[in-house]
Chain A
């Protein structure tokens, strides 16, 4: 029964307006409290930002850096509010995590020119896993508000030779845009896409884990960005224009009929010409 309920809950989250993810999620948890943990870990929510008091730098919150009600900062590697015994990455992994945060900080700067990014890693038996988070909000100018959130979860299984690894990436991007203009009233476009990819990569000094993961994340985000552009700005617009036609439909039909007639006339003339030439 629980599994059925979880399926229904997830189906519901996919249908309710994505612009209200948080409210939908909390209403859902109120409805079926037993599903709370499962829902929190399987439904992507817009990322929240916290400030690291030690370094003054911002970091992003998610289930992967949460322990109870505390969150771990990737900069100072401490929990806020402080925890006696919070889950921590191993020393080796912490070093990699620091490097990864620096690397993706640059990635963020080059593609997003602003925003906040955070990387959290955790140990696995045969490798490690991690999440790369990015959040960028529009500046609210030109009467347009917007926000981009990406969540990339990567699983790395190191081969016993140590010279290659298998990477599995699951990426979700959440985007919402809202405008308030005279002509189009209030327009609210929101949503999320999830994609997956996996591949093997060599691991060496010239091709370290961070570079391999970085390339996969970059390709994936570029792909998702383009898909969002086509879906958001293509398909939904087409659907709107399928519901109503600015040009009167009888005119449109007449126009189409006329065009077909001309096309047919041209085809006939072309056929006649070639048969004349052959004779």
Chain B
């Protein structure tokens, strides 16, 4: 579960060699792999579709099958190979589809405006008479040849109702840089906001505007925090140079130590 984005195979192969028991591994690991892929909002190609679908806990139908409401397809997902097979058409839910697709249209535009290789999906479900929408956004860059990988994940949920409703988001970024070392950035933020529900078009736009503003704020704050960490925290841990602004005179240090020793005697 702690594999950095894009390095699951390497981690898996390492574990495989260590456990040295493929049957045992297969059993124990199958569930872990599925959990990992869903948690990572893994994108997957669907035959005949120009957009990517996502594999998440929100579109999990059970039995290894997932739904992509945009393509109106369900598919079987091989968690090890990360491939979708056995595509079957499915009907949209009339109770939720108009809201779901209105939000999806806005979200797709937003994602193409802000994410160079972003994938998104909107999933709907009903709880009693209320419609709950879950929006997922994923963007990743895997460059193992340059020893780095990174992934952005956001998941937003809102339950529609009359008047004002609450929108909740979880934003996560993970970056791994490992040329001659091992450096990881792991960050997450919880966001809450309120929305007034009106017509479908209008609400979808307001929703996505809120998401845009919140995600911009998060990204900007991350950059600013980097500056603060560099200016303050790092300096508080180790200075670039001593207060004297020069490197140490080691001869002086050594003779001072000897001097101290002599004084003790």
Contact = CB atoms under 8 A, between A and B. Distances in A.
B14 A12 contact: yes
Contact of A218 (B216, B230, B248): B248
A233 B219 CA distance: 14
Given A15-B176, A249-B116, A241 B232 contact: no
B251 A183 contact: no
A82 interface: no
A75 interface: no
B185 A185 contact: no
Given A8-B18, A235-B177, A248-B114, A186 B188 contact: yes
A103 B217 CA distance: 48
Interface of B: 2-4, 7, 10-11, 13-15, 17-20, 112-116, 118, 139-141, 148, 150-152, 171, 173, 175-178, 180-190, 215-230, 232-234, 236-244, 247-248, 250-251, 253-254, 256-258, 260-261
A5 interface: yes
Given A183-B221, A237-B226, A244 B215 contact: yes
Nearest to B110: A248
Given A236-B185, A240-B185, A225 B250 contact: no
Interface in A36-55: none
A144 B229 contact: yes
Given A31-B19, A103-B253, A111 B239 contact: yes
A173 to B, nearest CB: 9
A15 B178 contact: yes
A9 B171 CA distance: 31
A44 B221 CA distance: 32
Nearest to A32: B18
12 contacts: A17-B186, A18-B182, A32-B18, A146-B233, A182-B221, A184-B224, A188-B185, A210-B257, A214-B254, A221-B238, A242-B116, A244-B215
Given A136-B237, A179-B228, 18 more contacts: A16-B3, A17-B186, A19-B186, A103-B253, A144-B232, A182-B221, A183-B220, A185-B218, A186-B189, A188-B184, A189-B184, A189-B229, A191-B184, A214-B248, A235-B148, A239-B141, A243-B139, A243-B140
Contact of A5 (B17, B218, B229, B258): B17
